[in-house]
Chain A
Amino acid sequence: MLTFQSKTGDLTAGSFRIAGIFRSRNSSFDQVTVFTRFDDLAAILGTTGGMHEIAVVLKEGQKTNAVAAGLKKQYPSLLVQTWTELSPQMALLSGIMDQMMYIIIGIILLALMFGIINTMLMAVLERQREFGMLMAIGMNKPRVFAMIVLESVMLTCAGIPAGILFTSLTVGSLAKHGIDLSSFSKALSQYGFSNIIYPVLKQSMFMPVILMTALTAILSAIYPAIKALRFKPAEAIHKI
């Protein structure tokens, strides 16, 4: 037996035979959702020839507001709401997750920066004698500085294709098989999230990340380069 509120506001009920039990990736959705034939439900609710709600699913989420505005204009008598208006809690959560992602990217770039500083600093300190010799025979400071920064950029240029390949392979595999978060299913289902996440890596995301990485590499090389410029040739030449 399924009980509903009819179009006129009265309580009404209908008896249905279970034809099958479905299971989606969202347990909370499964617990509260029943599929019936449209005509059977329309007769019980008194909405013959009409419907009380239409959900529009967009392929590109960024167009939500524009589409909603268009629909409002086209159907002024209908209540048109975006998903953020319907579920502000979810919108807030989504916003927080976006911010978290920026923070995580920042942390990763910071870690990358320390990694490059460490590598370049070691390379510079290990090659003190070489830098001493270069400055002794006439390599000026701007050239020494440029050489270290360029080495850092080249190191990064070698790493970027390897990183892209590794990312494409791992994300490609996860996009196919999904990341199973069933151990957090309760928490995820409360917010209507699926237990299995299928990550997507758009090509448009590569360029900003590559540029950020290259910029990080250049910034990271500045400190080791300044360190090298402070070497005194007379002392550096005799370093072991």
Chain B
Amino acid sequence: MGNIIESHHLSKTYNPDTIPVHAVNNVDLAVEEGEFTALVGPSGSGKTTLLNLIGGLDYPTGGEVKIEGVDITNMSENKLIDFRLKNIGFVFQAYNLIPVLTASENVEFVMLLQKTSKNEREKRAVELLTEVGLKDKLNKRPSELSGGQQQRVAVARALASKPRFILADEPTANLDSVSTENLLEIMAKLNKEDNMTFIFSTHDQRVIDKARRVVTLVDGKIVSDTKK
């Protein structure tokens, strides 16, 4: 299978003129389609920064990131937003759902940005929420859902745009063990059945155990890359 993500000599340095902090330091990483990869490492090792660079949420100070051969490092902000909308799904640590929208509307929102028709939006939102086990919570607002349920809505939202891959930044950090188990099962199922590529940063050993590839970062550098 071809590489869906490639980074070459990727670097991100904060405060380059004062006290430089090399959050990501000369990282070469290739991720194939269908991988279930965990980025691990201690706090401050650069996991989130690397995810941000791969996801086009931030610009590197050196090197390049290619998504399916397309270099995103020199894209304008507006092009990058459009690129993210079409190619990348995000799951955030704090769920980041829109509080005034229902679970279904939160999932539909991304499709609305993609100008998908109303019928198709509604149909796909129901399908995705059913897939993550929230068929009975379609009309619940985030405040009426548990943390685990909110994160599952976030996964459904990330899938809604039919992305090429999903980036998840510490998706289980705010969840209890049962919710973590449920979420991991759903993500593993999507990976296995739909061949969806997942890359997530995590501290959680249970998540690391589930991953088929573990990339360990220390001080912004990859110190180990293990495939199971």
Contact = CB atoms under 8 A, between A and B. Distances in A.
A234 B85 CA distance: 15
B133 to A, nearest CB: 22
A138 B52 contact: no
B161 to A, nearest CB: 7
A138 B85 contact: yes
Contact of A141 (B78, B96, B98, B161): B78
A137 B167 CA distance: 11
Contacts of A139: 81, 85, 113
B52 A137 contact: no
Interface stretch (A20-28, A128-136, A195-203): A128-136
A214 interface: no
Q: Which 10 A-B pairs have the closest CB atoms?
A: A138-B85, A133-B96, A234-B58, A234-B57, A234-B52, A233-B57, A140-B81, A138-B84, A138-B113, A136-B90
Interface string B24-61: 00000000000000000000000000001001011000
Contacts of A237: 57, 92, 96
A138 B161 contact: yes
Interface residues of A, number: 16
Given A129-B94, A133-B96, A138 B110 contact: yes
B76 to A, nearest CB: 11
A143 B114 CA distance: 12
Contacts of B96: 129-130, 132-133, 237
A7 interface: no
A176 interface: no
30 contacts: A129-B94, A130-B98, A133-B90, A133-B92, A133-B96, A135-B81, A136-B57, A136-B90, A136-B92, A137-B85, A137-B90, A137-B110, A137-B113, A137-B157, A138-B81, A138-B86, A138-B110, A138-B113, A138-B114, A139-B81, A139-B85, A140-B82, A141-B78, A141-B81, A232-B57, A233-B57, A233-B58, A234-B52, A234-B57, A237-B57
Interface residues of B, number: 22
B77 interface: yes
A140 B78 contact: yes
Contacts of B161: 137-138
Interface string B155-178: 001000100000000000000000
Dominant SS at the A interface?
Answer: helix
Contacts of B113: 137-139, 143
Contacts of B92: 133, 136, 237
A237 B91 CA distance: 11
A131 B63 CA distance: 28
Contacts of A141: 77-78, 81
B13 to A, nearest CB: 15
Interface string B55-99: 101100000000000000000011001101110001010101010
Contacts of B94: 129
Contact of B58 (A129, A130, A232): A232
Interface of B: 52, 55, 57-58, 77-78, 81-82, 84-86, 90, 92, 94, 96, 98, 109-110, 113-114, 157, 161
Contacts of B110: 137-138
B84 A136 contact: yes
B147 to A, nearest CB: 16
Contacts of B98: 130
Contacts of B82: 138, 140
Contacts of A138: 81-82, 84-86, 110, 113-114, 161
Nearest to A141: B78
Contacts of A136: 55, 57, 84, 90, 92
Contacts of A143: 113
Interface string A118-158: 00000000000110110111111101000000000000000
Contacts of B57: 136, 232-234, 237
A201 to B, nearest CB: 37
A136 to B, nearest CB: 5
Given A129-B96, A138-B82, 4 more contacts: A136-B55, A138-B81, A139-B81, A232-B58
A232 to B, nearest CB: 7
A226 B90 CA distance: 25
